[in-house]
Structure 1
Amino acid sequence: ELAGMDKAAIRERVNPLLELVGLSALADRYPAQISGGQKQRVGIARALASRPKVLLSDEATSALDPETTRSILDLLRQVNRELGLTVVLITHQMQVIKQVADRVAVIEAGRIVEQGRVLEVFTRPQQPITKSLIDEILPQELPASVLGHVRKLASQLGAGRTGRLLRLSYAGDSAYQPILSQLIREFGVDMSILHGQVDEIQDETFGSLAVYASGEAERLSGAVAHLRACGVEVEEVAVAG
């Protein structure tokens, strides 16, 4: 109305948007008569009514239950796909980023400190703030029980053998390769898998494994170099005591 559109033009603009967000049957209801998730859908439809080039979503799922959150994220993906619209999400929930985003920028004290494809940032975080944020997706700290087991394994090493606690991060094709079994055969090292997680981002597999590798020092260094050559990110974890 403020833009000078008549009622017929408004209906022509509004009705398809109500259908897009799944609220056609609730068109005549007042805000107090709809749920929180439905209000979020109304907000998305209202934002789309002006036909923007970019949709800014500021903490759109922060107060919603998990099922409603999934439905709103599915709607944002649909908006992105069907309307060809760029969606900018502002959120502290890294699970939301994992589910819906293609790229991520990490902001600290008003400055972008890290950015890139979600898969790359999640598997190879560079900044402390990034590591703390993605801890809920890929935990960075190993449980005390795992570290205790590492100390036990280290105390059992034979003469001429050394051990290293390694965190392996991998993504894409490297997730499907029998890399660890190749290491055991070709380098004669022992591998104990102590902790790990595998997940998906945008239909691409990513994961993290904590392994204790033991063997002759030279062979162990060769095995680590081979892992890196295969596209696996390798970080040696220091164990106190």
Structure 2
Amino acid sequence: MVHSVNNERAWDEQIILALDYQDKAEVIECLNKLDGQVRYVKVGMELCYAEGPGIVAYLKEQGLQVFVDLKVHDIPNTAKGAMMSLAKHGADMVNLHVAGGVAMMEAAREGLEQGTPAGEESPLLIGVTMLTSTSQQTMNEQILITGSMEETVATYARLAKKAGMDGVVASPLEVPAIKQVAGSTFITVTPGIRTLGSSKGDQTRITTPEKAFERGADYIVIGRSITQAPNPAEAWANMITILKEGK
């Protein structure tokens, strides 16, 4: 299923702002600049390693949904334990690397369910396919995976679904292929998002928010295009306006 960008959707529930900061003070400054417009945020390695899991609790107290992006990749027992720990902190979404294999993903799912407090809903468990900084050439020549990027990501999506994942992280460019092999309800979370005129940075497989949703993305993750804009609140509002108008 490919979403239309011309209907009335709760865009702020599907756009995840990457809080790529060194400490809580920077996070607070960013959120203040955005003046309450953001509803879903991502805590990655940089912030989580600096502040610890308490940053998740703080963000939840602010009424935000939180994607904890730590990309777990380890032996099944360790992945299970990691997810049991993560489940206790109130995250709405967590992830791991599909490359860890089906046994690891199944163990992680079990740990997540066991660690979720009674009466609460388990976080969404999402499998990372290929990082959006990875090019076709890098995948073939350095990681030594043959074939096309689309074929590889689709294969990873099949494995993730088999292992009981709720969805995968992938470039927006591969979303149609993922939906084809895993079904329209299989969640796609897409980083590598840049507003028009923004720098690519270290990403290689990128697109704009509107193009990502047109290709069927369920969630997009955007960071520097907003957080490094001269006026983040204005940049966010302009993005939402473009999505609503279907430009």
Which category describes the TM-score, using the shorter chain as reference length?
under 0.3
Q: Which has the higher contact order (CA 8 A, sep 6+)?
A: 2
Structure showing greater Rg: 1
TM-score, length-scaled by structure 1 = 0.26
TM-score, length-scaled by structure 2 = 0.26
